[in-house]
C-alpha cells in the first residue's frame, strides 16, 4: 500500500501523558492501529465525535506531531527516513490549515507579508513574490488592496481565506484542513468550501479534510473515514457510505444529520449514552456500550476492519447481518 500512495500511514499509535502523580503516570490512547492512504488528486474526509483523534491524525500526517508507533510514508518513503532536503520538501508540499486561522497568523505582520513568507523562504525573487501574491490573493477572493492590513482587521471568513492563501504560497501538493469552516457562519462556510474545491482544481491538490459536518464531507470528498475513540470504524467511497453504511456508529452519525432520515431509527435510538472517556476504552468493540445491536461477542472480541465492497471497510461483527 505504502509504495503507491501520495501519503499513507500504517498502524499509527499515539498516546498522550495526561497526569502524573508521584508513583503513577496515566496515558491516554488517542490513536490505535490507524492505517489510511491519500491518493494523488483525491479528497479524503475524516469524521467522528469530538476527541476521537481527528486532529491528532491530521497533525501526524502533516509531519507536525510524532506518533508513538506505526509509520507514515510520503510517496512510498518513510517520513522518518527522508533526507533533510526531502524532509524540507515534504514540509513545503504538505500544508495544513486550521479551524481558527487567526491563531496561525502573526498578529503583528501585514497579511501580504504573511502570505509571501513561504515564497521568501523558497528564495523567490522580490518582484515575482509581488506577482504571486496578487495571483494568490485573487484566487482566494481577497482584494489586493488589503495586503497591507493586519489580521485583526479581517472577518473570520477572510482570515480563513488568508490561511488558505498562505498555504497555497508554498506550492503544496497536499492540503490538510482541520475543521476549516466550523467556526464560521453557515453562509461563509459555503464560500470557503467552494474556494477549497476551486483550489483543488486550479492548484492540483490532494486534500484531507477533517470535519464534524458529514454533509460537507459528502459534498466534497471522494472517500470518507469514520473514527471512533481513536480507531477507524468505517471507510469507504463517500456516495456509498451515505447510501449504504456498514457500521452502526456511521448509521447513527448519518441519522443525526438534520433532514437526513435513517432507514431504521432515530439518532437517539441508534446512539445510547454519552461518549466514554478515552482514558477507559471499553473492551471488545469499543462502541458496544452505545450500540443497540451489541451481542455477547461485541463485549469481548475486537472486530477487525473487513472489506465488504471494493474500498469499503467496516469494523463490526454484525455488519453482514445488519446491512446485508
Positions touching Mg ion (CB under 5 A) are 55
**Taking the CB of residue 251, how many other CB atoms lie within 10 A of it?**
22
Does 64 interact with ligand ATP (rule: CB under 6 A)? Answer: no
Q: How far apart are the first and last CA of the chain?
A: 28
Residue 294 contacts which entry, ligand ATP, Mg ion, ligand SF4, none (Cβ below 5-8 A, type-dependent): ligand SF4
- Asked whether the beta carbons of 257 and 236 are under 8 A apart, the reply is no
Q: Is 35 helix (H, G, I), strand (E, B) or coil?
A: strand
Least distance CB 224 / ligand ATP (angstroms): 15
| Number of residues counted as binding ligand ATP (CB under 6 A) | 13
Task: Provide CB contacts within 8 A for 181, sequence distance 6+.
Answer: 160, 188, 189, 192, 193, 211, 213, 216
Least distance CB 70 / ligand SF4 (angstroms): 23
Phi then psi dihedrals of residue 81, to 5 deg: -105, 5
Residue with the closest Cβ to Mg ion?
A: 55
Surface-to-core class of residue 44, CB atoms within 10 Å of its CB (0-12 exposed, 13-18 middle, 19+ buried): buried
Least distance CB 48 / ligand ATP (angstroms): 6
Q: Which of 6, 7, 12, 30 binds ligand ATP (CB under 6 A)?
A: 30
Select the span of 49-57, 74-82, 161-169, 255-263 touching ligand ATP (CB under 6 A). 49-57
CA-based nearest residue to 94, from 105, 106, 82, 102: 82
Does 51 interact with ligand ATP (rule: CB under 6 A)? Answer: yes
Does 265 interact with ligand SF4 (rule: CB under 6 A)? Answer: no
Contact set with ligand SF4 (CB under 6 A) = 247-248, 285, 287-288, 291, 293-294, 298, 303, 316-318
Contact set with ligand ATP (CB under 6 A) = 16, 18, 28, 30, 48, 50-56, 278
Amino acid at each position: 500500500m505504502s509504495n503507491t500512495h501520495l501519503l499513507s500511514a500504517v498502524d499509527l499509535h499515539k498516546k498522550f501523558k495526561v497526569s502524573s502523580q508521584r508513583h503513577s503516570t496515566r496515558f491516554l490512547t488517542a490513536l490505535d492501529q490507524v492505517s489510511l492512504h491519500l491518493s494523488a488528486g483525491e479528497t479524503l474526509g475524516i469524521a467522528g465525535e469530538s476527541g476521537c483523534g481527528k486532529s491528532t491524525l491530521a497533525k501526524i500526517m502533516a509531519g507536525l506531531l510524532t506518533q508513538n508507533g506505526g509509520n507514515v510514508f510520503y510517496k512510498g518513503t518513510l517520513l522518518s527516513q527522508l533526507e533533510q532536503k526531502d524532509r524540507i520538501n515534504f514540509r513545503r508540499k504538505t500544508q495544513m490549515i486550521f479551524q481558527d486561522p487567526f491563531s496561525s497568523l502573526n498578529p503583528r505582520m501585514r497579511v501580504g507579508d504573511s502570505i509571501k513568507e513561504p515564497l521568501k523562504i523558497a528564495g523567490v525573487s522580490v518582484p515575482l513574490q509581488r506577482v504571486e501574491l496578487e495571483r494568490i490573493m485573487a484566487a482566494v477572493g481577497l482584494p489586493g488592496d488589503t495586503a497591507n492590513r493586519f489580521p485583526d482587521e479581517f472577518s473570520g471568513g477572510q482570515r480563513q481565506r488568508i490561511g488558505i492563501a498562505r498555504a497555497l504560497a508554498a506550492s503544496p501538493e497536499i492540503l490538510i484542513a482541520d475543521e476549516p469552516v466550523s467556526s464560521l457562519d453557515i453562509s461563509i462556510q459555503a464560500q470557503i468550501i467552494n474556494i477549497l474545491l476551486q483550489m483543488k482544481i486550479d492548484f492540483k491538490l490532494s486534500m484531507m479534510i477533517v470535519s464534524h459536518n458529514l454533509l460537507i464531507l459528502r459534498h466534497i470528498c471522494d472517500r470518507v473515514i469514520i473514527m471512533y475513540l481513536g480507531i477507524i470504524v468505517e471507510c469507504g467511497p463517500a456516495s456509498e457510505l451515505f447510501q449504504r453504511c456498514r457500521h452502526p456508529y456511521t448509521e447513527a452519525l448519518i441519522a443525526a444529520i438534520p433532514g437526513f432520515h435513517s432507514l431504521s431509527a432515530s439518532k437517539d435510538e441508534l446512539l445510547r449514552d454519552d461518549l466514554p472517556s478515552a482514558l477507559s476504552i471499553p473492551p471488545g468493540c469499543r462502541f458496544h456500550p452505545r450500540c443497540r445491536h451489541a451481542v455477547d461477542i461485541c463485549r469481548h472480541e475486537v472486530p477487525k476492519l473487513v472489506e465488504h465492497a471494493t474500498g469499503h471497510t467496516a469494523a463490526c461483527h454484525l455488519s453482514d447481518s445488519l446491512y446485508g
